[in-house]
Amino acid sequence: MKTTPIVLACALSAHGLEHRVNPIRKVVTLLQNMQAKVEGEGEKEKEVYDKYMCYCKNGAGALEKSIADAEALAGEMGSAIPEAESKLKQLKADVKRHQTDRSDAKAAIGSATAVREKEEAAYTKETEEDKTNLSAMKKAIAAISGGGGAAFLQTSAAQTLKKLIVAKESMNDGDRQELVSFLSSNMEDSETAPGAGEVVGILKQMASETQKELDGADAEEAESVTSFDGLIKAKKKEIAIATKMIEEKLTRIGDLGVTIQRMKGDLGDAGDSIEDDKKFAKDLEANCAKQQKLFDENAKLRGQELVALADTIKILNDDDALEMFKKTLPGASSFLQIQVTSEEMKAQVVKMVRNVAKNSPRKLKLDFMVLAMNGRSAGFGKVIKLIDDFIVSLGKEQQDDADKKEYCEKEFDLIGDKKKTVTQELSDLETAISDAKEQIPVTTAEIDGLDDGIRALDKQVTEATENRKEESSDYTTLMAGNTAASEILGFAKNRLQKFYNPKLYKEPQFVQEEPAPAPEGVQKAKKSESSGVIAMIDLLINDLDKEMTEAEFKEKDAQEDYEAMLNDAATKRQVDSKTMTDKEFNLAELKKGLEEYTETQKSTTNELMAVDKTLSNLHGDCDFLMKYFDMRAEARTNEIDAMKKCKAVLSGADYSLVQVHQVKRLLRK
């Protein structure tokens, strides 16, 4: 707060009347104290100004660096983002290729396993039959060679051997006929029957061939197992490698996707930051220039005030003036000569006020003051009114400062609360973005897994359908062939019965010209021979019927299993498809949420920057007032007190002819 010229004049008048001893020296001391106070105020204002200018300089440098860094970052992101997106696209293509390779390897294992199971089943069935037949041959050879042929013919091994001989296509018809005849014989000592040695020889040869077939089947089975194990091992290795590559590249896809989004966010933030920093730098430059101008004006006025004080002190300390003061003011008693002291003091104050009024913005008021002191028309009443107005003005200034202080405190509280709220919102957004980024790759991997499972299930259903068609076709072919073969065998048996057993003959539906039955004598002679052939035909017919019955049961079971598998597969596919749809919806929501969070984060960040800027502007507008409020209030109080004293002096100026004791009382007051 500056000391105004009118306050200086009134203060000089008041002190001139109050001091009794060496009044000029006390006036000079008062002026020197005022001079020191003005200089102190200047130093404090200079300290605040230097700090603000330091902030301007450092803030401008920091903004320039921030703009340069943001522009460099934008350049880097502009080239890095396309490169990262290209890598991401390649990684996704690689993952799809690895998934296809893994699915193909799994399918190859499934197909190879199915083929291996069929081969193993065929091998087991074939070797079991061969082993059973070989055992029957060995028993027959041992029994015939040891003389127990008749007993052997009553065993199940003999029946098994008979079935083998009938079904063996590669066997010589003569050998087959001889063996069938032997096995169908009812002789008790069959080993002594004609041809027993030949039967043993044939059986040994058949046993040797069967053993070779068994050995060959074992070798082929071992080779198939080795080949299957090698294939499975290789395919499992392919699956493991493909799985590892899928996992690694899915992780890289997730990380790269996050990196791309972050770079895009950084690029957008960099652009926003550049614009905001440039605008803030422009505002900072304007505010700093404004503060510089204000400081220069205050420094100029303060300099003028110091010049005025220095001139006044010089005037009062001038040798001529001091000499005159010695003559006019020889002591306290002469100072009480009101008529002389008042005039001289009035003259000195008028001279000082005129010097100050030359550069004062209140020159008009000071002119009225001078006129009043010179006793002209304006009078002291006008000056007193000016003083009253000035006191009111000071009170209004004090009230304005108080109102502004209250406003600043309120705004600091509001903006502080706003900053806390926005900062918390920004923290919540960062947490939400982090959660979304973690969930997106997990949900994507789950969707891919469900999709792989559905495609694998569809492939299994397709393969099962193809297998079912093949099995059904094989069943139809088997039933047709066995039915036709059974009919042919029945026809052949009926034809033999007509010749050898006419009573058992059944007339065919379509009569054909057939040979007449054999004479009764011939029938009796040949009946034993035909019984073996007819029994063999019956055995073959029974085998065909049994095979067809078993085939019907197998076909029924296979069809039921196939239908159950289709129902289970349809249920699983429906559940997996719904789950995948739900997860795809969740994934879309996550991505949408991530975009919204990111956009909200940008706007919230801008809002926080705006709050910081508003807070910075508020500091620039309020810090000086808040810091020096008490000092300014104290200075105004002192000025008001001085003005009231000045008013008291001027109010008593019209009574210059009062008695001395009245003046003394006034001065003491």
Contacting residues for 435 by C-beta, under 8 A, at least 6 apart: none
What's the one-letter identity of residue 578? K
CA distance 188 to 193: 9
pLDDT for the residue numbered 332 = 38
Q: Give the residue-averaged pLDDT of 403-429.
A: 90
State both tokens at 366: 């000071």
Least confident of 130-134, 326-330, 410-414: 326-330
Please classify residue 525 by burial: count the beta carbons closer than 10 Å to its beta carbon, then call 0-12 exposed, 13-18 middle and 19+ buried: exposed
Least confident of 113-117, 260-264, 469-473, 517-521: 517-521
Helix axes 520-651, 379-500, angle to 10 degrees: 180
CA distance 317 to 312: 9
Q: What is the DSSP string of 557-615?
A: HHHHHHHHHHHHHHHHHHHHHHHHHHHHHHHHHHHHHHHHHHHHHHHHHHHHHHHHHHH
pLDDT for the residue numbered 525 = 47
Least confident of 239-253, 328-342, 401-415, 530-544: 328-342
* Closest by Cα among 275, 254, 277 to 62: 277
Model confidence over 142-200: pLDDT tens digits? 777 666 566 666 677 677 776 777 766 666 667 667 677 776 665 444 444 445 677 77
Model confidence over 638-652: pLDDT tens digits? 777 767 776 676 665
Q: What is the DSSP string of 416-476?
A: HHHHHHHHHHHHHHHHHHHHHHHHHHHHHHHHHHHHHHHHHHHHHHHHHHHHHHHHHHHHH
pLDDT for the residue numbered 655 = 35
Model confidence over 351-398: pLDDT tens digits? 655 664 565 444 555 565 566 666 544 455 666 777 788 788 878 888
CA distance 154 to 357: 158
pLDDT for the residue numbered 511 = 46
Residue pair 120/220 in contact (Cβ under 8 Å)? The answer is no
State both tokens at 91: 């990684």
User: pLDDT category, 2, cuts 50, 70, 90?
Assistant: very low
Q: What is the mean pLDDT of the chain?
A: 76
Is 17 a residue whose pLDDT tops 50? Answer: no
Say how many C-beta atoms besides its own lie within 10 A of residue 570's C-beta: 12
User: pLDDT category, 549, cuts 50, 70, 90?
Assistant: very high
CA 492 to chain centre: 83
Percent of the chain with pLDDT over 70: 72
Write the Ramachandran bin of 42: left for phi over 0, alpha for psi from -120 to 50, otherwise beta.
alpha
Q: Give the residue-averaged pLDDT of 476-493.
A: 85
Is 245 a residue whose pLDDT tops 50? Answer: yes
* Residue 361, helix vs strand vs coil: coil
